[in-house]
Amino acid sequence: MAKILLITHVQPPAIDGGSRVIVKVGEYLKKAGHQTLIISSNCFSTDDFTKPHRPTALKLQGSIVLPVYTILHKPLKLLSKLFPIFGIFAKGPIFKYLPIVKIIKFNPDLIIAGPLPTTIVLYARLIRFITKSKLLINASYHETDADFHNKLLLSTLKSADYIWTLTDHETKYFSKHHIIQLGNGVDPSLLIKKNKVLPKTPTLLYIGALAQHKNIEQLIIVHQNLLNKFPKLKLIIAGQKTLYYPKLKKLLKLPNIKVVFNFKTNALSRLLDQSTILVSPSTQESFGLTLIEAWARKTPVVGLNIPSSVELITKSNGGLIGLENIEKLLKDETLCQKLGQNGYNYVKAHYLWPNIVQKICQKLF
């Protein structure tokens, strides 16, 4: 059995799809009998590295949770606007120290790090140099993020033994590298075992960070306009505050909007079961973990016309593209049920964590 070191931004209860991939794959690798060690920051979210979690919130077995220099994050963000090379340092934790001795003693066979574009891959590159381990980077690529074109980041990607891609679109972009296309995953326990019963009150659900690129303002505008035709239509926004949250506070107080902060993992299925449609208004996604989570509960989705969402929705036939199609789904219960079932079948066939981890083991060990 192999020794695997996993490095990422944050660990639960912080919300971040890219980090959740790393933590979750670590859990399943451990279940498969491999020895794992996870290193992450003690921070509140990948957007705000100035707010550490309470120490008791992150006591996870087999993990090293490191403190960061909180005072550096905001100055680096400002500096990166003038000098883009600093962008990668502004987007990730600056650890106060690295447990090099523990890492050398652990002696990993493989390092799995991500997501990009962040300081995490720089730490992974350093540790790979010290330990001579193989390196697998989860790129989480989306071309609208200017930091993906950072020269330091690109050289780090080229130095990796393998790149873990999430979509065909991403695989095509990194085609000259050693690719392992695995996608993202859900726990089999999330799969609903009965037909979905649509809620009596039509409900839209957003899940994710309350960040600028998530385009929540546009979703709220669409929701408020739809109240003219669907007076009882609810919008649930479930996620985590970020540095952008103060700009959303007034909008979140508009009629028929409910906000759920820092919900527990076991509340995910309940939120999805209480919703008619999962809406992903984000303008920037590398995959869209919430889409496959919704399909695991037979909930149809609506996403924007961005490569990752278009690819997933087209392949699965589990939803529609464009926020204007929310109204179409609200008017057609049969279509909702059909798309939700299609998405469920697709996730069950392609995106369960045990199957993804099995592919990793087959490719690398």
Residue 294 belongs to domain spanning: 189-350
At 283, is the secondary structure helix, strand, or coil? Answer: coil
Does position 310 have pLDDT exceeding 90, yes or no? yes
Same domain for 127 and 275, yes or no, is no
Rounded mean pLDDT, 4-20: 81
Specify the range with the lowest mean pLDDT, choosing from 6-20, 114-128, 150-164, 343-357. Answer: 6-20
Return the sign of the alpha-carbon dihedral for residues 279, 285, 288, 289.
negative
> How many CB atoms are located within 10 Å of the residue 338 CB?
14
Rounded mean pLDDT, 256-266: 84
At 44, is the secondary structure helix, strand, or coil? Answer: coil
Does position 61 have pLDDT exceeding 80, yes or no? no
Q: What is the CATH number of the domain that holds 58?
A: 3.40.50.11930
Same domain for 46 and 195, yes or no, is no
Specify the range with the lowest mean pLDDT, choosing from 43-47, 147-151, 177-181. Answer: 43-47
The pTM is what? 0.90
Is residue 355 a part of any domain in this protein?
Answer: no
pLDDT value at residue 57: 47
pLDDT confidence tier of residue 274, bands split at 50, 70 and 90: very high
Is residue 49 a part of any domain in this protein?
Answer: yes
Domains identified in the chain, total number: 2
Q: Buried b vs exposed e over 65-84: b needs ≥16 C-beta within 10 Å?
A: bbebebebbeebbebbeeee
Specify the range with the lowest mean pLDDT, choosing from 32-46, 52-66, 121-135, 316-330. Answer: 52-66
Same domain for 167 and 221, yes or no, is no
pLDDT value at residue 85: 74
Give how far Cα 250 sits from Cα of 26, 144, 206, 254, Å.
39, 28, 17, 7
pLDDT digits (tens, 9 = 90+) for 235-259: 999 988 888 889 999 999 999 999 9
Is residue 359 a part of any domain in this protein?
Answer: no
Of 98, 44, 97, 50, which Cα lies nearest the Cα of 75?
Answer: 50
Same domain for 153 and 194, yes or no, is no
- Residue in this structure with the two tokens 């199957």, named with its chain if needed: 355
Q: What is the CATH number of the domain that holds 308?
A: 3.40.50.2000
pLDDT value at residue 118: 83
Same domain for 151 and 206, yes or no, is no
pLDDT confidence tier of residue 48, bands split at 50, 70 and 90: low
pLDDT digits (tens, 9 = 90+) for 145-175: 777 778 888 888 888 999 999 999 999 888 7
Same domain for 206 and 290, yes or no, is yes
Boundary (domain end) residue, out of 153, 183, 213: 183
